[in-house]
Amino acid sequence: MRLIALLLGILAIVAVGATIVVDVISTPTPITGQCLLARRILLPDICVNNCSSGFDCTRATRPYLVFFTQAASCMDAVIC
């Protein structure tokens, strides 16, 4: 019985880890001046752009889990 519980726990950890890897790998690469909303499975949704690293094109946010927020919409056209 303990072995089954251990195997199910390991399987759950592997499934969550694989989902996070898929979330990060599937993030789209926008062209310059474009801002895209990247919808993710487990991680919070984000706005991605091809501007400098400090630029954030998030227009609105919404709650994510209890204490966090995620992107709800992004700016249409970005000049960078």
pLDDT in tens, the chain (80 residues): 889 999 999 999 999 999 999 988 988 888 888 899 999 988 999 999 888 777 889 999 999 988 999 999 998 877 77
Q: Which residues pair with 35 in a beta bridge?
A: 49
Q: Residue 10's pLDDT is what?
A: 96
Give the separation between CA 53 and CA 40, rounded to whole angstroms: 20
Domain locations along the chain: 2-74
